[in-house]
Amino acid sequence: AQTVTQSQPEMSVQEAETVTLSCTYDTSENNYYLFWYKQPPSRQMILVIRQEAYKQQNATENRFSVNFQKAAKSFSLKISDSQLGDTAMYFCAFMDRMDSSYKLIFGSGTRLLVRP
C-alpha cells in the first residue's frame, strides 16, 4: 500500500524568506502523480502544485516549486518570498494512475506560519 509521510508537523518562516516543506512517499508503482494542497484556516483545500512522476523536470508555479527525487521517493515544496497569506496547513498527496479511482492518499500535513 502506498503511504505518504510528512515529518514536519509545524514550520514557521519570516515574511519574504524561503521555506521548504518535506514529503516522502512509498510506492512500487511507476506511473503516479504527486500534489501539494494548501488548506488555509477555516477555508477549503486548494491545489498548490502537481508533479507527474514520468517528468524529470521539477514543477514550478510562481513562488512555489518542488524538488522531486524519484529514486529517493522525495517530493519537497519550496515557497519563495513567503507571504502572510501562505499561512496554512500543507498536505502532500499521492495518486496512483493505475488505480482507476484516482483517489488521493494524503500525508498528515505541515502547519506553516508566516511571521510578519
Partner 1 sequence: DTGVSQNPRHKITKRGQNVTFRCDPISEHNRLYWYRQTLGQGPEFLTYFQNEAQLEKSRLLSDRFSAERPKGSFSTLEIQRTEQGDSAMYLCASSWDREETQYFGPGTRLLVL
**Three-state secondary structure readout of 60-82:** EECCEEEEEECCCCEEEEEECCC
Give yes or no for residue 43 binding partner 1 (CB under 8 A).
yes
Identify the residue among 62, 71, 85, 102 touching partner 1 (CB under 8 A): 102
Min separation Cβ 116 and partner 1, Å: 26
Nearer to partner 1, 57 or 116 (CB): 57
Identify the residue among 36, 68, 107, 114 touching partner 1 (CB under 8 A): 107
Ranges of beta strands (E only) in the chain are 3-5, 10-14, 19-21, 24-26, 32-39, 46-52, 60-61, 64-69, 74-79, 88-96, 105-106, 110-115
**Alpha carbon distance 89, 112 (integer Å):** 6
Give yes or no for residue 57 binding partner 1 (CB under 8 A).
no
Size of the site for partner 1 (CB under 8 A): 25
Min separation Cβ 86 and partner 1, Å: 18
Give yes or no for residue 113 binding partner 1 (CB under 8 A).
no
**Alpha carbon distance 79, 62 (integer Å):** 9
Interface residues toward partner 1, by CB under 8 A: 4, 6, 33, 35, 37, 43-47, 50, 91, 93, 95, 97, 100-109
